[in-house]
Amino acid sequence: MPRAKSDKDRKIFVLDTSVILYAHNSIMNFAEHDVVIPITVLEELDQFKKGNDTKNFEAREFIRLLDKLSQDHMIHEWTPLNGKTKGFFKVLMNPENKMNANIIFGEEKNDHKILNAALYLKEHEKNRKVILVSKDINLRLKAKSLEIHAEDYETGKIKNITELENTGKYVLEEVDPDAISKLYDQGYIEAKAVLGTRKRKSNAYYILKNEKNSVLTFFNSDENVLERVDKRLAYNIKPKNAEQTFALHAIMNPAIKLVSIQGVAGTGKTLLALAGALEQRRDYKQIFLARPIVPLSNKDIGYLPGDIKSKLNPYMEPLWDNLKFIQNQYKETDKEYQKITELVNQEKLVIQPLAYIRGRSLSNIFFIVDEAQNLTPHEIKTIISRAGENTKIIFTGDVFQIDTPYLDSQSNGLSYLIDRVKDHPLYAHIKLEKGERSELANLANELL
């Protein structure tokens, strides 16, 4: 299709495979600008199209989308994206350039072929700005070394991560002593009496203080009152600080169907979620505890020796450790100890990799997703969208401890969830700040 002269104002974005595996519809998110897909990207996607993982889904959906968009066009020609405000796209075959990234970097590999595509466009589209878009930091650095503009894929990325730090819990100083006394006497107080004209966020937690006393409270938006929050046991696990008390309150509150708990290692995220689930086991058909598999060095678990169970055990062991810790609060002869063993044997409590649970119907389930910062926004959405009647979902993780190569603190699913769902009446978020595992663990988190 011929290009109009005014098109010189449009940028050309060259998409890397990592962007498409992150979001298959990314090609549609560049406004009026044009998009180029190097043929190498399609070749790489072909290797990802089989399987049940999210990246396999994204690969298949992108291939379907490209087929739908191309219709009667040849994909190596400029083809319009849907919508009057959209640009054009095309697939670029492996071009020959004066500069060859394979020679420059001394190795022939797919990343260098993608760089060659950007180099070709830069040479042949001199009046237009060419930008390589990749989730791969190293590829972006290589591009910049060749004087190619390179950017991360920004759609859905949280702009200000520090705002997430202030979500869910608030501290108010110099609160009227009478208000605190009333909370202790009757357990609640009208929100206006304490918060005044302050903006009130659904399911927010407040620490109210004055010189003599303090009290932990929860804002009940349905009743428009602040309710006193007391420390309570959950399967013999007792909160050790205010934030843990708030987290357990959210976990145990039947009106809150979705909870996220952010915190560094040792703050008790998974332990509290599991203890709260066990305490409410009679209210649900099953308890699912899952985490995504992030293989060492980003290699597939097929590289590991043994059968599938022995391959997965190392990844699931931290979850079993939490369960054993709770069980060991009791003697082996206690009914609570035996009940946990019974729940596991009857598969009323299931600990599995997230990939095994994805696709199942989540009705009447208490579902805990550990290490949620290693999920993409699409994976988070997929999990929540499968929730049926009487299902509660808890996401735990640390948005600053990412183990997957193409996610960061601003683009991972847990950050995305906290940012998008905050202030919803079905949702509560708590950040755990103090490590309670041991003094030695705190030393590692604070000083190393």
Q: Which pairs with CB-CB distance under 8 Å and at least 24 residues apart come from 93-99?
A: 93/39, 94/38, 94/39, 94/40, 95/120, 96/120, 97/123, 98/123, 99/146
Q: Which residue has the higher pLDDT, 110 or 54?
A: 110
pLDDT in tens, 242-284: 999 999 999 999 999 999 999 988 899 999 999 999 999 999 9
Average pLDDT over every residue of 52-81 = 89
> What domains appear along the chain, each with residue ranges and CATH number?
7-152 (3.40.50.1010), 158-230 (2.40.240), 240-447 (3.40.50.300)
pLDDT in tens, 295-320: 433 444 444 444 444 545 667 788 88
d(CA 400, CA 164): 12
β-sheet bridge partners, residue 397: 262
**Average pLDDT score over the chain:** 88
User: Shortest CA distance to 216 belongs to which of 240, 253, 252, 180?
Assistant: 180
Concatenated DSSP letters of 55-94: HHHHHHHHHHHHHHHHTTS-TTS-EEPSSTT--EEEEEP-
Least confident of 42-46, 58-62, 177-181, 440-444: 440-444
pLDDT in tens, 227-251: 999 999 999 999 999 999 999 999 9
Are the beta carbons of 342 and 307 closer than 8 angstroms? no
Predicted confidence (pLDDT) at residue 288 exceeds the cutoff of 50: yes
pLDDT at 311: 47
Q: How many helices (H) and strands (E) does the chain have?
A: 17, 17
Predicted confidence (pLDDT) at residue 115 exceeds the cutoff of 70: yes
Q: pTM here? A: 0.83
pLDDT at 442: 67
First to last CA, the chain: 58
Are the beta carbons of 14 and 133 closer than 8 angstroms? yes
Please enumerate in sequence order all residues whose Cβ is within 8 A of that of 378, keeping only pairs 6 or more positions apart, or say none: 22, 23, 54, 58, 413
pLDDT at 392: 97
3-state secondary structure of 109: coil
pLDDT at 445: 64
pLDDT at 251: 97
pLDDT in tens, 85-101: 789 999 999 888 888 99
Phi, psi at residue 55, to the nearest 5°?
A: -65, -30
pLDDT at 82: 76
